[in-house]
């Protein structure tokens, strides 16, 4: 039966905490000390949860039921009331539960587990720096296209690319608000063509053998720290993304089996990845192991217990005279391997794409698992390392390629 004020007032503390149930998951928990807390029991994503709704008598029975009904409305729209409250607190707008910042942080928390950490950090920093200060406290349903455009224009004056990415993120937030019943439509559709045109730029890379050779020689001649030397030398052999490389941990390596098992949480695809290790890779790692092998990270940074910073390799390339804007970046080794393995060494494209950790599917549309074509990829990775060594060590002919 539903609770009444009389029943609540007559309830006495007991040796152990107990509950007085109301309706629709609401109950009053009475502690041995006499304290009385309103709580809501609910299920979300198949898990049973509890939400505190206040202390009796500060929160009356009628008020507790109103709060329960508000939480149930969120549940009906696919929103976890606990996560909603957390987002409201983080945004500091308790009175405006449907503000742009609250909704954006909810959307972010839902998406974050599917993103690489680097990517997730960039998105939340972009919103916190460029959008929340102007639109964060505004009810999302009240924001109009000209208001959002004004915010984006501020970003555009500094970086056109960032403005476009902010517009994309705002569109994702608005669509989430529509899906959860807190906005009527995605207003970013009205801003199509309003910003200066921009096209995504590919990471600069060197793909011609006659230009790869001097790059490799320069990298092997780099005079920086030994850890950075090893990272530079290993990068073109494994052609992982820079974050996947610099955060490498010794626990991920099985040198005897000649493989590197990169965990899913560090991969952009959020899938575990295997890198077969060539003889050259093993030599680099075994030379570095006495220096950093007792620690967590293969490429130990300046600060104890921390890896190299995310710009270390690009900074080293710049010191060697290579423009990381027009010529090569740590990310560019991937394009180098993709092009040469296909066009020069004539390896199967699906092997190459799989080793790049791209989404590869078979003829039936099924995603290959991480061990697909592993034997073939082992041979390919050894051939790639041998080719890089040939370029680096062979004398040049008139065309600049190995003779």
Do 263 and 135 share a structural domain?
A: no
Candidate list 67, 331, 377, 392, residue with the active-site label:
331
Residue 140 belongs to some domain of the structure:
yes
Task: Please indicate whether residue 268 is annotated as part of the active site.
Answer: yes
Do 369 and 348 share a structural domain?
A: yes
Residues 6+ away with beta carbon under 8 Å from 166: 126, 127, 130, 131, 151, 152, 155
Which domain covers residue 315, as residue numbers?
A: 209-393
CATH of the domain at 146: 1.10.150.130
pLDDT, residue 124, reads 93
Do 236 and 349 share a structural domain?
A: yes
Do 111 and 226 share a structural domain?
A: no
Q: Where are the beta strands (DSSP E) in 267-398?
A: 273-276
Residue 399 belongs to some domain of the structure:
no
Residues 6+ away with beta carbon under 8 Å from 328: 204, 205, 206, 215, 317, 322
Do 277 and 345 share a structural domain?
A: yes
CATH of the domain at 30: 3.30.160.390
Do 264 and 169 share a structural domain?
A: no
Task: Please indicate whether residue 138 is annotated as part of the active site.
Answer: no
Do 343 and 215 share a structural domain?
A: yes
Do 330 and 227 share a structural domain?
A: yes
Task: Please indicate whether residue 202 is annotated as part of the active site.
Answer: no
Do 357 and 255 share a structural domain?
A: yes
The two tokens of residue 375 are: 């034997």
Do 234 and 373 share a structural domain?
A: yes
pLDDT, residue 16, reads 92
Longest dimension (CA), the chain: 99
Number of domains comprising the chain: 3
Residues of the chain with pLDDT under 50: 93-95, 202-203, 326, 362-366, 368, 398-400, 402-403
Candidate list 43, 217, 358, 361, residue with the active-site label:
358
Residue 93 belongs to some domain of the structure:
yes
Residue 203 belongs to some domain of the structure:
no
The torsion angles phi and psi of 334, rounded to 5 degrees, stand at -70, -45
Task: Please indicate whether residue 47 is annotated as part of the active site.
Answer: no
pLDDT, residue 120, reads 84
Q: How far is CA 205 from CA 43, 121, 340, in A?
A: 50, 25, 12
What are 320-364's pLDDT values in tens digits?
887 555 456 657 788 888 888 888 888 888 888 888 887 655 444
Candidate list 334, 338, 354, 377, residue with the active-site label:
334
The two tokens of residue 34 are: 């006499």
Residue 400 belongs to some domain of the structure:
no
Task: Please indicate whether residue 129 is annotated as part of the active site.
Answer: no
Candidate list 368, 370, 373, 378, residue with the active-site label:
368
Task: Please indicate whether residue 334 is annotated as part of the active site.
Answer: yes
Do 142 and 224 share a structural domain?
A: no
The two tokens of residue 198 are: 């921009």
Q: Is 230 helix (H, G, I), strand (E, B) or coil?
A: helix
Whether cis (ω within 30° of 0) applies to the bond prior to 173 is: no
Residue 204 belongs to some domain of the structure:
no
CA neighbor of 60 nearest in space, from 1, 14, 3 = 3
């Amino acid at each position: 039966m539903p609770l009444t004020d009389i029943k609540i007032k007559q309830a006495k503390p007991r040796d152990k905490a107990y509950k007085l149930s109301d309706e629709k998951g609401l109950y009053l928990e009475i502690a041995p000390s006499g304290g009385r807390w309103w709580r809501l029991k609910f299920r979300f994503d198949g898990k049973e949860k509890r939400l505190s709704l206040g202390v009796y008598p500060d929160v009356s029975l009628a008020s507790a039921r109103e709060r329960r009904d508000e939480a149930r409305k969120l549940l009906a729209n696919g929103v976890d009331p606990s996560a909603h409250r957390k987002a409201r607190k983080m945004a500091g707008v308790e009175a405006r539960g449907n503000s742009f910042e609250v909704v954006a942080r909810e959307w972010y928390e839902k998406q974050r587990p599917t993103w690489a950490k680097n990517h997730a950090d960039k998105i939340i920093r972009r919103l916190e720096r460029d959008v929340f200060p102007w639109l964060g406290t505004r009810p999302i349903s009240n924001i109009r296209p000209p208001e959002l455009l004004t915010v984006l224009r501020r970003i555009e004056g500094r970086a056109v690319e960032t403005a476009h990415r902010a517009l994309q993120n705002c569109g994702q937030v608005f669509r989430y608000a529509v899906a959860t019943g807190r906005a009527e439509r995605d207003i970013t559709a009205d801003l199509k063509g309003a910003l200066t045109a921009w096209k995504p730029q590919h990471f600069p890379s060197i793909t011609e053998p006659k230009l790869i050779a001097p790059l490799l020689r320069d990298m092997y001649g780099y005079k920086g720290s030994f850890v950075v030397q090893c990272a530079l030398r290993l990068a073109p052999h494994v052609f992982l993304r820079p974050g996947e490389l610099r955060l490498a941990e010794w626990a991920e390596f099985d040198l005897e089996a000649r493989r590197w098992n990169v965990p899913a949480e560090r991969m952009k695809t959020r899938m575990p990845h295997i890198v077969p290790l060539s003889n050259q890779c093993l030599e680099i790692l075994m030379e570095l192991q006495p220096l950093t092998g007792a620690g967590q990270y293969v490429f130990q940074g300046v600060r104890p217990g921390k890896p190299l910073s995310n710009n270390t390799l690009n900074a080293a390339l710049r010191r060697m005279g290579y423009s990381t804007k027009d010529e090569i970046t740590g990310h560019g080794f991937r394009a180098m391997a993709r092009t040469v393995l296909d066009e020069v060494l004539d390896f199967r494209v699906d092997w190459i794409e799989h080793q790049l950790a791209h989404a590869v599917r078979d003829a039936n549309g099924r995603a290959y698992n991480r061990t697909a074509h592993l034997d073939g990829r082992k041979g390919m990775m050894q051939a790639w390392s041998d080719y890089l060594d040939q370029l680096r060590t062979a004398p040049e002919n008139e065309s600049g390629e190995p003779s």
